[in-house]
Amino acid sequence: MTGDSSLVDLGVSDSSTLTLVYDFHYASVVLTASDDHAAKLLSADTGEEVMTLLGHADAVTHAAMTPNGDLLVTVASDGFAKMWDGGTGVCALTVRVASAVSGVDSVAITPCGTYIATASREGDTVCLWSVGNGECVHWRYHEEVLCVGFSPTGRLMMSVSVSGSRKMWDVMSGDCLRTLDEQRVVLDVAFALTGESMLLAPFAESVEMLSMRTGERLASLNHGGATATSVALSPCGLTALTLADDGVIRAWSAVIGECVLALEADAMVRSVCFATCEGEVAIATGSEGGDLRMWSLSSGRLLCEARSHAGAIRALVCIPEVTL
């Protein structure tokens, strides 16, 4: 409605019951996963709560969403995954995807929202699940698997283990198309939405940007001896974020491997991702204490700050409106 128009003009009487739905598809939002058993959609401009997703009985360890925001998925330490309608926040499906002992370390969703994939490090499994009925389509063994991601078409799936082993899978057949083995401890992995590149964060080594298909090293991000514990890659794979154990958040040109911004991070920071805040590209950080902060990528200026959760924010997910 605009101007002086009112609900009466739309035929709504005084006794009518209204259901208000916040359509965030055209707003900049961040999806959070927290130890307080909740996931939330937060405004990237203000940090204010847009929607709270409740229903998990344990810490929410990871989250993912389709590029258009129509479908959200969260996973918890108790081994359950929940799929949510992005427009209403209604839980559409709950599936046990791992045992409570093994838990879930990573979740990904195909861009069209047809399948989700889960990775369980303790369970040594990569699983593909149908969003339509929650059935397991494929169950595959991958020792100490840490992270999983899809290609832009949803036809290929990549899994990465703690030991550096990388496997590419055919989604339809479940066949392993390629295996690249490396003997090193991997702490975190990030995938570009374009499906062309990925970031690998090994212990006590430089972060590497690699070709998804060939494994070729495209760039090396040297932290001067520090170890990156959390990484993020922009949708087009041109810019990278790293959170290192020296307490610094760094933004990199992933093309040339050059650091373009360094922020002295709070020791409580647990997770990072790219976002859009006040019309500019920003760095979103989630802390041990449940705080969400947004920083300008160009200047490092703090754009907004909000206490969002009662527990640690383990993961942040955002599809920036600005191409990176």
In the prediction, which pLDDT does 17 show?
54
The stretch 282-311 carries a mean pLDDT of 95
**What is the CB neighbour count within 10 angstroms for residue 310?**
12
pLDDT value at 84 more than 80: yes
In the prediction, which pLDDT does 10 show?
46
Pairwise CA distance, residues 204 & 106, whole Å: 22
pLDDT value at 189 more than 50: yes
For the stretch 192-206, pLDDT in tens is 888 789 999 999 899
Confidence of residue 267 (pLDDT cuts 50, 70, 90): confident
Q: Sketch out the chain's domains with CATH numbers.
A: 58-183 (2.130.10.10)
In the prediction, which pLDDT does 233 show?
92
The stretch 129-153 carries a mean pLDDT of 94
Residue environment code for 91-116, b if the CB has 16+ CB neighbours within 10 A, otherwise e: bebebebbeeebbbbbbbbbebbebb
Highest mean pLDDT among 15-24, 188-197, 242-251: 242-251
pTM confidence score: 0.86
* Residue 74 CA, distance from chain mean position: 10
In the prediction, which pLDDT does 270 show?
93
pLDDT value at 154 more than 50: yes
Confidence of residue 322 (pLDDT cuts 50, 70, 90): low
Pairwise CA distance, residues 257 & 220, whole Å: 6
pLDDT value at 71 more than 90: yes
* Residue 115 CA, distance from chain mean position: 16
CA dihedral 131, 136, 140, 142 (to 10 degrees): 60
CA atoms within 13 A on the CB side of 39: 31
Q: What percent of the chain has pLDDT over 90?
A: 71
In the prediction, which pLDDT does 5 show?
45
In the prediction, which pLDDT does 14 show?
60
Beta bridge partners of 188: 201
**What DSSP character marks residue 48?**
-
Question: Is the model more confident about 74 or about 181?
Answer: 74
Pairwise CA distance, residues 262 & 283, whole Å: 11
Confidence of residue 99 (pLDDT cuts 50, 70, 90): confident
For the stretch 33-66, pLDDT in tens is 999 999 999 999 999 999 999 999 999 999 999 9
Which helix (DSSP H) or strand (DSSP E) does residue 317 occupy?
strand 313-317
Query: Amino acid letter at 191?
Result: F
